[in-house]
């Protein structure tokens, strides 16, 4: 009888992480792979939120007749898209894993694989998060202002008030989703850093 040989990929050449069903109870905790697919989905979510900010910020800018209250969605969206795109470009997995050149044991290693990459990424995310935080405050201010009937006056039509409430609600929701994605990605990068 002819025996069939099972040829397996070596650990260095495997491109697919095993599923939970492939792992034995012994290896289930010891084999922690970087969740590249999850990271990629969260980055795409951030880009989609950024594009939505651009659209809704433009509508709010027009609706508010040129005031930059909810129109801050325009720079917030642009900054979020740039930061997420730069993060995708430097994410572990696209160009293969590169050992971090940051000092071993440094608590800031999640910012990037090298100082040259970490500085611009930190600047982009600080800018995006600043715009998002200001936008959250502006959206909350608009929502609370209209809820208390302080901003409602005779000159503004009811439709404009309703439109601003909807725009503020959507921008607030998008800001919360974007911040959640940022915190989830920070957690993943800190947990799965093999260095």
- Which pLDDT score, from 0 to 100, does residue 13 have? 36
Is 174 contained in some domain?
A: yes
pLDDT tens figures, 72-107: 899 999 999 999 998 888 765 555 455 555 555 555
Is 27 contained in some domain?
A: no
State the residue range of the domain holding 137. 36-96+104-191
Query: Contact 113/170 with Cβ under 8 angstroms?
Result: no
- The torsion angle over the Cα atoms of residues 119, 122, 123 and 124, rounded to 10 degrees, is 120
Is 5 contained in some domain?
A: no
Is 22 contained in some domain?
A: no
Domain count along the chain: 1
Tell me how many degrees the CA angle 88-22-97 measures, rounded to the nearest 5: 30
In tens digits, what is the pLDDT along the chain, a chain of 195 residues? 555 555 444 443 344 555 555 555 554 454 567 788 888 899 999 999 999 999 999 998 888 887 778 888 999 999 999 999 988 887 655 554 555 555 555 555 666 667 777 788 889 999 999 999 999 999 998 888 766 555 544 445 555 677 888 999 999 999 999 999 999 988 887 777 655
Query: Contact 187/89 with Cβ under 8 angstroms?
Result: no
This model's pTM is above 0.95? no
- The torsion angle over the Cα atoms of residues 91, 41, 13 and 5, rounded to 10 degrees, is 170
């Amino acid at each position: 009888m002819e025996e069939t040989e099972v040829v397996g990929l070596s650990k260095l050449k495997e491109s697919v992480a095993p599923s939970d069903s492939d792992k034995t109870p012994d290896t289930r905790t010891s084999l922690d792979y970087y969740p590249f697919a999850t990271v990629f989905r969260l980055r795409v979510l951030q880009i989609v939120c950024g594009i939505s900010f651009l659209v809704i910020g433009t509508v709010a800018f027009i609706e508010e007749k040129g005031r930059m209250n909810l129109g801050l969605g325009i720079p917030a969206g642009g900054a979020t898209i740039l930061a997420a795109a730069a993060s995708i470009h430097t994410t572990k997995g696209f160009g293969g894993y590169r050992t971090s050149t940051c000092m071993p044991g440094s608590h800031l290693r999640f910012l990037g694989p090298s100082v040259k990459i970490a500085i611009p990424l930190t600047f982009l995310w600080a800018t995006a998060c600043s715009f998002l935080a200001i936008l959250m405050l502006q959206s909350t201010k608009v929502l609370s202002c209209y809820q208390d009937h302080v901003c409602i006056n005779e000159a503004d039509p009811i439709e404009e008030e309703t439109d601003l409430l909807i725009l503020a609600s959507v921008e607030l929701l998008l800001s919360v989703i974007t911040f959640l994605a940022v915190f989830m990605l920070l957690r993943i990068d800190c947990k799965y850093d093999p260095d």
